[in-house]
Chain A
Amino acid sequence: MLLIPRLMAPIALAVAVAAPAAGAGQAAARADATAVEFFEKKVRPLLAGYCYNCHSANNNSQGGLRVDDRNGLLQGGNGGPAVVPGHPEKSLLIRSVRSTDENLKMPPKVRLSPEQVADLTKWIKDGAAWPEVRVPQGFGKYSAKYDKLRKEHWAWQPLREGKVPPVRDASWPRTSIDRFILAGLEREGLRPVSDADRTTLIRRVTFDLTGLPPTPAEIDAFLDERSTDAYPKLVERLLASPAFGERWGRHWLDVARYGESTGSARNVPYPQSWRYRDCVINALNSDKPYDRFLIEQIAGDLLPAETPRQRDEQRVATGFLALGVKDVNQRFKVRFVMDNIDEQIDTVTRSVLALTASCARCHNHKFDPIPQQDYYALAGIFHSTDLCAGVRNKMGGSGLDYYDNTMLLQVGDAPSRPNPEATEKIARAKKAFEAAKAEFEAIRGKPEGRALAANGQPKQQIARQKMVRLQTELAALTDQAASGRSALGVRDARTIGDTALRIRGEAEKLGPIVPRGFLSVLSVADVPKINPHQSGRLELARWLTSTQNPLTPRVMVNRVWHHLFGAGLVRSVDNFGVTGEVPSHPNLLDHLARQFVRDGWSVKKLVRAVVLSRAYQLGSDVPEANTKRDPANRLVWRHSPRRLSAEEIRDAALAAAGTLDRTRPVGSPVKDLRVMELADNGPQAKKLAEQARASRHRSVYLPLLRGLVPTSLEVFDAVEQGMATGNRDATTVAPQALYLLNDPFVWQQSLALAERLFKRKDLDDTGRIEAAYCLTLGRSATPKEVERVKAYLAEYELAARAEADLKTTPWASFCQALLGCAEFRYLK
């Protein structure tokens, strides 16, 4: 039976007071043992014998209906509720078994006896009793360890003062960050290494802030400028560059598990995802305060807007909640809904709070104090929210079956006056589609439909294909999405309310209703009560960004540190829970978090503060004493080298070759795709791969359908698009070498770079070699290197002649070697 511990008291109350239809039916059913017996004896055998084959969880769910579960019957399938307790006359089940209509009657081949129909009718009239869901023993209980953890685990405690510590060597630190770092080193008897040279520094900070290499002119200017504020000036220039948003927006897109398709078993494109991408990049460039940014991500649609443009922007921001992985081939609507809610809860808690709250879907969290009730308190918020991703679930769908253009957000202005030519075209297309549909329906499931046509296919299959084709053509003409005036995102649902806890996480197994709310792991008092007429997303967003919430700024500050130092102060950037790691510099973390909030949640100010520290500007030497004591450089006695990300490697190659197009493309190639399943070796996939290869835009703008990531990104550990991920791999595998040696894209850039060198009429061979080094590695070549390259060029030319290889010029081959060498993709 249900055990109700102290902490569940409000929930118990809610069960008693606010019982929804299903819950009420369940309670009534529970009371009547004879009704259950009647069901077991008379009704269940009927359902099992005649219906399970096509309508049960383990077999099939024709029409989205399952009859082996009470909620399945109440919710019904595509035709609406199959059972309305107490009302046989309103129950589709009864109408079907009584019907003689070919298309409605059930079971299809057998006619139930009048007694059987009477049994079904009586059962529904008496309230459609069903044996109660067994609640597991110990349900709702959790150990006292939860209270202890809430009080003691470091991450959930309020931000501490983070006082700047004293240091022995007062001459070393430049900023407060440095004092924290140096104090840590001094405690262990370690010294920081010397500062990085200026060539290294400009390359490092330019990549870190913009994802691009510094140009030779920028390097020269920085090296020539002797004033003390040369570096701060450089930092200001980079922060102001539009490339800053492209680089740092991409970091957020990683934790937003950005993708342009549903992924999963049936991969269906999201033609509007790119709007969200652009919106994130703009927000970073305009330095939108992070708290405001988060509120818009979660509840932008519920905020007032002064202009239509602002309204659109805020709507698009909620794409954050919409563009996750979805299993559109899911049979059951209720599972589809609950799976998507889980995906949203996981994304929000992991990205903003570095918590793994979705572990509490099926049971209390095993490690962190997140009871299952808390999970369903959040689930109620998302259950009251329409997930507008332009898709619906349907098992075994084809064509546009998965497309649902009512589940999209409107953006942009209303269309200008329709032109008569278009109207007429639409009318024609509509007529053609309707005719094809009638044709299909006329023979569907009938002998003449099953008869084979000349090509060996059943005639109904051919008719269906024709119908789908015409439907697609019609959709292309009429669809608002095709006209580009739609976006992914969320809006409050028509029905607002709390949702039931699901026993063992099974979508159909309803437990007690849980009032909407937030996670009890944090005590945040200054958040208004959830507006009963809204989903509660706005209050959730306020809870996340409350100044009493220590996790949100801690997690963000740590993410920024991670991107600038290669590792976070807390290494497990997406997990601050008990199984995560603890901070190497807890006081520094809190100091930065406080400063971040004090500075109005400005990401740019935070980045500036970090890169202006002396710690950031350290060289990468490795004195033995330090490596022995702290091999992983957790105390930051040097700057750890990092490999460039996939995007940076591609962008740097384009930049070196002079082929990079710095403008932002309009949309994405994905915006022209129809919302139909995409095979990963079909013509569309091939076309997208070609478009990606031909693109000269920055990598952040490449099409990113799940499972179809462009090769240039995929080989270098592209981000995992399945879930919020703040930390990418940097593996070293053979396919990377094969790509750099043989991929046409790399060769094209090598040729372009070689041509670029020869356009400079003022250069001799030495000058060209020097220039090539500067463009690719950001430094001049040593005399030894110049000699080696010259020898290579000469030797290669001879060998190439012998091989009659006129395609490859020695210079392009040398340029390719530069793009392929390790130094090109590692940053000191």
Chain B
Amino acid sequence: MANTRPVATPERTFNVQGSAMPVSRREVLKTAGTGFGYLALASLLGQEAARAASEQPKPLAPKAPHFHSKAKRIIFLFMEGAMSQVDTWEYKPQLQKDDGKVGPGGGTLVGSKFKFRQHGKTGTWVSELYPNLAKHVDKLCFLRGLHTDTPAHPQAVMQLHTGTALAQLTRPSMGAWLLYGLGTENQDLPGYVTINPPPNFGGAVNYGTAFLPAHFQGTRINDTGYLPNLKARAPASLQRKQLDLIQAMNRDLAATPGAPDQVEGVIRSYELAFRMQSKVPELLDISKEPRAVLDAYGVTAGPAGSFARQCLMARRLSEAGVRFVEICHGGWDHHANLHKGLIQGCAATDQPAAALLTDLERRGLLEETLVLFGSEFGRMPTAQGPDGRDHNITGYPMWLAGAGVKKGFSYGTTDEYGLKAVEGRMHTTDLHATLLALLGLDHERLTYRYAGRDFRLTDVAGNVVQDIFN
């Protein structure tokens, strides 16, 4: 464990969170005789004073990363339900050739019904389902050897978001860890926003803080930009008056001797809330974007335009300094209806995601923003029923683009059928370790002490894949 602390020996006197404590000889003598003697109070109290002084008054203030990094923010395009990789990003000629034969793990191999073509200077193969994203292949960085533990959506979605699928202890989400480690750049906005997250598969756990303090909680908004209690109940001028009265009362309290320390925090929270009421709806109101931008993303009202709206909101939030934005498109669980389902899903995501990349690049944001695209796992190269594929956790891809990663690069491969990762294998914890590293955080040092031990997003595992860093 990174943070080793002295064990309880008679010499040990007091135990203070996260800091090794120097114990003087005199104090040792004072307590050693009994092993349970009266505390070495001088030391105890000194430590408390140091802790009180170092306590972060603003838990969300930007913090220095562990090491220099290009990426300041992250946008995660989550394809919930498990997209079929051999029909989209994984070109497997042998699979096409062996269509109809028995696969290595049993089942009937079935080639993709979609045509693949090489794109860009890198000549990367992409299927015809993603014509717009295909134009960006030279800036994508593929992770093709991912694997995870559980071939069931609920656990896999939770593992992707929190590092574990174990039910016994809910862990903080990836975004909460990032916020805990880095704070956020814009104090007028939540630092972690998730748009349209899946309502099940762990639900709020996937953007929760678990045992981390509530400051690091993800803020859920829906795909029309709705956030509860954000709309001011009273007209702004009246609410300001009311707020002034509240703040006057709060300042009176803060001025009383012995007032709770948190009153200053209460005063700040009200000012932030007041600003959020105007800033956040303004930010999420995409209707003011120029027509050309709306068209580029393919924004429309109603369910069809959901992902386009999410992409555009993501760009605006990220641009405004939100540390972690996640958006979500579901419906990829094609046990049946694979053909039509893929055509629909890809059509719904291709243009908006491509427009997001273009837009970020044009605004110079891609240099400091990391984009992640993919599912909780992949699908089998074999058939399930007449028009479906089953879950596959043994090898599947995701891609990254933007700050800190190589362009037009591919890390890892699966076997000739796209069934198992054979080279450059990356477990979910490796993905997490690598993402944190791209944001400047050492996954082994990003710890939080809870219930008697230090917790990490990557638990006791995780390797950073340096090969993809540019």
Residues of chain A having any CB pair with chain B under 8 Å: 48-54, 58-60, 107, 109-110, 145, 148-149, 152-154, 157, 160, 184, 187-188, 263-267, 325-327, 329-331, 339, 342-343, 346, 350, 356, 358-359, 366-367, 395-396, 450, 458, 572, 574-575, 577-584, 586-587, 619-622, 628-632, 634-635, 638, 641-643, 677, 679-682, 685, 707, 711, 717, 720, 722-723, 729-739, 741-743, 747, 785, 788-789, 792, 795-796, 799-800, 803, 805, 807-808, 813-814, 816-818, 820-823, 826, 828
- The answer to whether A356 and B452 touch across the interface, beta carbons within 8 angstroms, is yes
Nearest B residue to A188 via CB reads B41
Complex Cα distance A586/B13, Å?
A: 12
User: Which of B51, B249, B273 is close to A738, meaning CB atoms less than 8 Å apart?
Assistant: B273
Q: Given A734-B269, A826-B262, are A586 and B38 neighbors across the interface (CB < 8 Å)?
A: yes
Residues of B within 8 A of A584 (CB): 39, 44
Q: Contact flags (1/0) for B1-29 with A, using CB distance below 8 Å? A: 10001011110011110000000000000
8 Å CB interface, B117-138 against A: none
Nearest A residue to B382 via CB reads A53
- The answer to whether B260 and A826 touch across the interface, beta carbons within 8 angstroms, is yes
Please name 20 further chain A to chain B contacts, defined as beta carbons within 8 Å, in addition to the given A329-B152, A737-B272, sorted by A numbering.
Answer: A53-B380, A53-B382, A58-B394, A152-B35, A153-B8, A264-B202, A343-B167, A358-B168, A367-B452, A579-B5, A579-B15, A581-B15, A586-B38, A621-B257, A643-B260, A742-B233, A742-B277, A747-B233, A803-B238, A821-B249
Residues of A within 8 A of B254 (CB): 822
Q: Given A160-B36, A586-B36, are A575 and B451 neighbors across the interface (CB < 8 Å)?
A: yes
Residues of B within 8 A of A677 (CB): 200
8 contacts between A and B (CB under 8 A): A574-B451, A578-B8, A579-B453, A641-B259, A731-B214, A732-B262, A807-B234, A821-B250
- The answer to whether A723 and B205 touch across the interface, beta carbons within 8 angstroms, is no
Report B41 CB to chain A, min CB distance, Å: 6
User: Which of A160, A572, A629, A818 is close to B45, meaning CB atoms less than 8 Å apart?
Assistant: A629
- The answer to whether B45 and A188 touch across the interface, beta carbons within 8 angstroms, is yes
Complex Cα distance A818/B245, Å?
A: 9
Report A189 CB to chain B, min CB distance, Å: 11
Report A47 CB to chain B, min CB distance, Å: 10
Nearest B residue to A795 via CB reads B241
Complex Cα distance A620/B13, Å?
A: 29
Residues of B within 8 A of A356 (CB): 451-453
Chain A binding surface SS class: loop
Report B431 CB to chain A, min CB distance, Å: 18
Q: Contact flags (1/0) for B245-279 with A, using CB distance below 8 Å? A: 11011101110011110110111111011101100
Residues of B within 8 A of A59 (CB): 105, 151, 391-394
Nearest B residue to A107 via CB reads B106
- The answer to whether A717 and B393 touch across the interface, beta carbons within 8 angstroms, is no
B86-94, B223-231, B462-470: which lies at the interface: B223-231
B66-74, B154-162, B406-414, B438-446: which lies at the interface: B154-162
- The answer to whether A734 and B263 touch across the interface, beta carbons within 8 angstroms, is no
Complex Cα distance A789/B267, Å?
A: 19
- The answer to whether B238 and A265 touch across the interface, beta carbons within 8 angstroms, is no
Cβ of B213 under 8 Å from chain A? yes
Complex Cα distance A59/B277, Å?
A: 47
Residue count of chain B within 8 Å CB distance of chain A: 108
8 Å CB interface, B85-123 against A: 102-103, 105-108
User: Which of A265, A643, A736, A822 is close to B201, meaning CB atoms less than 8 Å apart?
Assistant: A265
Residues of B within 8 A of A145 (CB): 7
Residues of A within 8 A of B153 (CB): 265
Q: Contact flags (1/0) for B203-246 with A, using CB distance below 8 Å? A: 11100001101110101000000001111111101110111011
Which one of B103, B107, B270, B451 has the greatest number of beta carbons of chain A within 10 Å? B451
Residues of A within 8 A of B38 (CB): 187, 586-587
Residues of A within 8 A of B211 (CB): 720
- The answer to whether B239 and A822 touch across the interface, beta carbons within 8 angstroms, is no
Residues of B within 8 A of A799 (CB): 237-238, 241
- The answer to whether B452 and A572 touch across the interface, beta carbons within 8 angstroms, is yes
Nearest A residue to B227 via CB reads A738
Nearest A residue to B166 via CB reads A339
Residues of B within 8 A of A572 (CB): 452
Cβ of B33 under 8 Å from chain A? no
- The answer to whether A813 and B273 touch across the interface, beta carbons within 8 angstroms, is no
User: Which of A152, A346, A789, A800 is close to B168, meaning CB atoms less than 8 Å apart?
Assistant: A346
- The answer to whether A630 and B154 touch across the interface, beta carbons within 8 angstroms, is no
Report B219 CB to chain A, min CB distance, Å: 8
- The answer to whether A711 and B228 touch across the interface, beta carbons within 8 angstroms, is yes
Residues of B within 8 A of A339 (CB): 166-168
Report A153 CB to chain B, min CB distance, Å: 4
Complex Cα distance A581/B1, Å?
A: 19
Nearest B residue to A641 via CB reads B260
- The answer to whether A187 and B452 touch across the interface, beta carbons within 8 angstroms, is no
Report B312 CB to chain A, min CB distance, Å: 22
Residues of B within 8 A of A720 (CB): 170, 210-211
Residues of A within 8 A of B201 (CB): 265
- The answer to whether B210 and A722 touch across the interface, beta carbons within 8 angstroms, is yes
